[in-house]
Amino acid sequence: MGYQAAASVGAWTLTRTQTTPEPEYDAVLQLDAIDAFWVQQRPMDLDLHIGQRIWTWSQVDPSLDAESLAVTLTGGPSIH
């Protein structure tokens, strides 16, 4: 199955807010580019590039404004 890029991000922060029983993170991402149609589709996947790895959370529902995206991520990411 294919995918579409809804947005590309610049600077971002990822803060772990809960460690047990399941990890939880708050992410705030500055938006560099947006596709107005695809960014409104829900749910979506979030890929964060960390070094040579990609951390992916599936089925997220972020809050979006003109300059940034914020989301609470539950569970650990898929790392590849």
Q: What is the pLDDT at residue 19?
A: 80
pLDDT digits (tens, 9 = 90+) for 50-75: 999 999 999 999 998 878 999 999 99
Is 61 a domain residue? Answer: yes
pLDDT digits (tens, 9 = 90+) for 19-38: 878 899 999 999 999 998 99
Is 21 a domain residue? Answer: no
Is 59 a domain residue? Answer: yes
Q: What is the pLDDT at residue 20?
A: 76
pTM, two decimals, is: 0.85
- Per the structure, the count of domains in the chain is 1
Is 53 a domain residue? Answer: yes
Mean pLDDT value across residues 10-26: 91
Is 22 a domain residue? Answer: no
Element housing 18 (H / E): strand 7-18
Is 58 a domain residue? Answer: yes
Is 64 a domain residue? Answer: yes
Residues of the domain holding 72: 7-12+29-79
Q: What is the pLDDT at residue 72?
A: 93
